[in-house]
Amino acid sequence: MANSHGLSARLVKKQAAARKLAKNKKKAAAVYCGNENRDVRKNTSYKKRKRYMENKQNFPKKKLPTKNVDSLIEMGILDERGFFKKGKKKNFITGSMVDLKGFDYYGLPRAG
């Protein structure tokens, strides 16, 4: 194994990028103790919790610019059936993995 910590290279690269992005050094240095219990906090190292906090701050959840289906199709985020072009093959209109006709992203019938 190339690295001693057992993480994949892409995760390590993301973590490094997050630490470089940390503009708010004071806030990033805060130790994460959100909804973890006392035992977990005690057993997890300071470094791991600190880096978790940095990554969480610098990689926020991606939000859609609008919830209007037509404008999202125009922007190229959704295809004409309502599926996301990038990421998970989920349908925005139905909120599930199938479109209105019951077909999945690849046009095959799928239950649910």
Q: Identify whether residues 53 and 70 lie together within a single domain.
A: no
Give domain status of residue 3, yes or no: no
Task: Give the residue numbers spanning the domain of 18.
Answer: 9-58
The per-residue pLDDT of the chain, averaged, comes to 81
pLDDT digits (tens, 9 = 90+) for 70-81: 999 999 999 999
CA separation for the pair 15, 108 (Å, rounded): 38
Residue (of 70, 73, 69, 66) closest to 95 by Cα position: 69
End of a domain among 58, 79, 96? 58
The residue among 90 and 56 whose pLDDT is bigger is: 90
**Which distant-in-sequence residues (6+ apart) come within 8 Å of 99 by Cβ?**
81, 82, 83, 91, 93
93 and 80 within one domain: yes
- 67 with 104, same domain? yes
Residue 38 has a pLDDT of 79
**1-9: average pLDDT:** 68
The structure's pTM equals 0.47
In this predicted model, what pLDDT tens digit does every residue of 37-50 receive, in sequence order?
Answer: 778 778 888 888 88
- What's the domain count of the chain? 2
Flag whether pLDDT at 2 surpasses 60: no
Q: Are residues 67 and 28 in the same domain?
A: no
